[in-house]
Amino acid sequence: MDEKQAKPRRPLWFWLFVGLGVVVLIFGLGAPRALSNASEEEVTYDVFLTALEEGKVQEVELKSGTLYYTLKEAAQPAPTAAPQLNFGFRTLAGSGRKTTVYTVTAMDDPDLVNRLHAAGVTFSENPGTGNMLLLVLIQYAVPILFYVAIFSFLFRRMGKLGAGGGLMGGLGKSNARSIEGGEVKTTFADVAGQDEAKESLQEIVSYLHNPQEYTEIGARMPRGALLIGPPGTGKTLMARAVAGEAGVPFLSISGPEFVELFVGMGASKVRDLFKEAREKAPCIVFIDEIDAIGKKRDGFGGNDEREQTLNQLLSEMDGFEGNSGVVVLAATNRPESLDKALLRPGRFDRRVPVELPDQGGREAILRIHCNRIKTEGEIDLAAIARITPGASGADLANVINEAALCAVRSGRHAVTQKDLEDSVDVALAGKQRKSMVISQREKEIIAYHEVGHALVAAKQKGASPVHKITIIPRTSGALGFTMQADEDERFLMDKQEAFAKIVTLTGGRAAEELCFDSVTTGASNDIEQATSIARAMITRYGMSESFGMTAFEQMVNPYLGNDTTMNCSQETAARIDREVIALIDKAYDQAKTILKDNRSKLDEIAHVLIARETITGQEFMDILNAPVALPVSPEAKPE
């Protein structure tokens, strides 16, 4: 099977030859056409001999086992008054004279030549085909070549449609990007944080360096390692680093590249990939985004092409022996969707989680990327790491790049700490919309809203400290935001903290209602977030008295968004809704109480914010803790 699939593409000359062969075949079978101007009559050999004996034969020609002969003028059945003609066969055609040419199958007659000579007959043998060949070529070959050309063009077009692999052209190519050993320059030093993942993979690296050590003991290397984690955490980067560290050839292909227009093509690509890998062993095969082909096979009319590809992958991974030196790495952010068969020991038996970086990890990633750009002044990457909880490696790389772009835009030659901080805001809420005109009243509402959040956060136990408050509109649609940042990373959230979060989120709307006696659309995002936390507390975290530790919702895919599925009766769902509403109401009341108790500080800070548009957490705390009110600009009086 392999050989068949791996047939090289046939060049055009191949088809030319096939065409020519067909021409020759047809020509060989066909009757000679140069005699078309003469009438032909087939006779038996004895008729020919009699004519010869009677001296009636004028001329004889032997061609491919057939004798062609003509009779003398006088012997013609219907003689016409004709001038003397050159009677050579080659000039027969076009002579205008109707002549009967008799054909007879030649027999093994060694005496014939003597007899012909004695009878004074002109005779010849015509082995060639003369200009008849040209005629036949034009009649048959040209149209055949024409069709061959059209078909080969169409097939090639079809092949291109099938994403790279041509029906005639690309058959037997795996499309894997192959990088020779030692050419990958990425190493573990380029991957910050992720120490556990590196450790897991280090073993594979040292196996590829020194396989004997493992075979001696009888250890079998894991054939495959599956890197799993949210997007942008450095899975692809890590796989390249393994190749760079091991210094072996690196065959990389992305899962979606296996999925082809034609059923069976993906499977053949897998075959070719592993064939190539076995030839190059020791080497690393890396299949990125493997969920594209590794999805669970289910009973409901699955995708044939994908299943065949998966089956081929499964059997290939079983195919090579324990220590063949081929290590398969794969990456995915949807591990829960992978087929169980793919995960059983002997295939991807090692799972390497590549999680979002913690605070230290973020700082390390920032440092790696920061080393590639020019900076000036004091750069505090720890501070940036503190305000970017939940950011992935890719996000952080982007923050650094944005900062560099920002520096260039403002005509500077190096990046400052402020560039970095602004860049975080851009990543969080989009670019500033300086052109947006906001009325004074709206500006006041926005300021009170944001200070409401900040003040409620500051006055509660368990809420994160305020880092920054701003009322500059952003391209994401946010009219302002309050950024909170923990000093240290938090990994657990207790019930009180979760509730404090909801109270903080309701603080914006509470301030609006308290000071302007109106509610605006500005709180929609706060409401969404508050609701989802409240829901999660009740349905997933077991933080509700009436339900206790029962889960009513499950996370669908933890690495891509927080999609959940409900799993309870309608009656329970209605009760959950009522609890969610009650919880948020309670939080809202609490926020309002906090703001009422601190009304003067709310006014004071809001006015400072209106005047400056952005204040830091430190400035906020200074005003909050100041015993006496600082002077306030007179035009910004609350209503």
Site of tokens 């002077």: 631
- Residue 508 as a binder of Zn ion (CB under 5 A): the answer is yes
Three-class SS string for 476-530?
A: CCCCCEEEECCCCCCCCCCHHHHHHHHHHHHHHHHHHHHHHCCCCHHHHHHHHHH
Catalytic residue among 450, 513, 579, 604: 450
Give bridge partners of residue 330 from the DSSP assignment.
226, 287
Measured from the CB of residue 508, what is the shortest distance to ligand ADP in angstroms? Answer: 33
HSE-CB for 93 with a 13 A CA cutoff: 8
Q: To the nearest whole angstrom, how small is the minimum distance from the Cβ of residue 238 to ligand ADP?
A: 7
What span, in angstroms and rounded, lies between the C-alpha atoms of 601 and 618?
Answer: 15
Q: Which does 508 bind (CB under 5 to 8 A by kind): ligand ADP, Mg ion, Zn ion, none?
A: Zn ion
Residue 366 half-sphere exposure toward CB, CA atoms < 13 A: 30
Using CB distances below 5 to 8 A depending on partner kind, what does residue 231 bind out of Zn ion, Mg ion, ligand ADP, none?
ligand ADP
Residues of this chain that bind ligand ADP (CB under 6 A): 191-194, 231-237, 331, 365, 368, 393-394, 397
Cis peptide before 282 (omega within 30 of 0): yes
CB-nearer residue toward ligand ADP: 363 or 444: 363
Q: What is the DSSP letter of 548?
A: -
Among Zn ion, Mg ion, ligand ADP, none, partner that 526 touches (CB below 5 to 8 angstroms by kind): Zn ion
DSSP letter for each residue of 368-401: HHHTTS-B-S---HHHHHHT-TT--HHHHHHHHH
Task: Please tell me the count of residues contacting Zn ion according to CB under 5 A.
Answer: 2
**Out of 186, 194, 233, 236, the residue judged to bind Mg ion by CB under 5 A:** 236
512 binds Zn ion (CB under 5 A): no
Backbone angles phi, psi at 297, to 5 degrees: -85, 125
Active site residue 450: yes
Torsion of CA 406, 408, 412, 414, to 10 degrees: 80
Exactly one of 257, 272, 395, 526 binds Zn ion (CB under 5 A); that residue is 526
> What is the closest distance, in whole angstroms, from the C-beta atom of residue 242 to ligand ADP in the complex?
12
Burial track 511-527 (b if 16+ CB lie within 10 A, e otherwise) = bbbbbbeeebebbeebe
CB closer to Mg ion, 560 vs 629: 560
From the list Mg ion, ligand ADP, Zn ion, none, partner contacted by residue 272 (C-beta under 5 to 8 A by kind): none
User: Min. distance of Cβ 412 from Zn ion in angstroms?
Assistant: 33
| Binding-site partner at residue 192 among Mg ion, ligand ADP, Zn ion, none, CB < 5 to 8 Å by type | ligand ADP
Residue of this chain nearest to Zn ion (CB atom): 508
Closest CA to 101 of 59, 45, 44, 47: 59
Closer to Mg ion by CB, 70 or 236: give it: 236
Q: Which residue's CB is nearer to ligand ADP, number 237 or number 313?
A: 237
Angle between helices 440-458 and 617-625 (to 10 degrees): 80
**Under rule CB under 5 A, residue 507 binds Zn ion:** no
Residue numbers of the site for Zn ion (CB under 5 A)? 508, 526
Report, as residue numbers or ranges, the catalytic residues: 450
Residues lying near Mg ion in the complex (CB under 5 A) are found at: 236
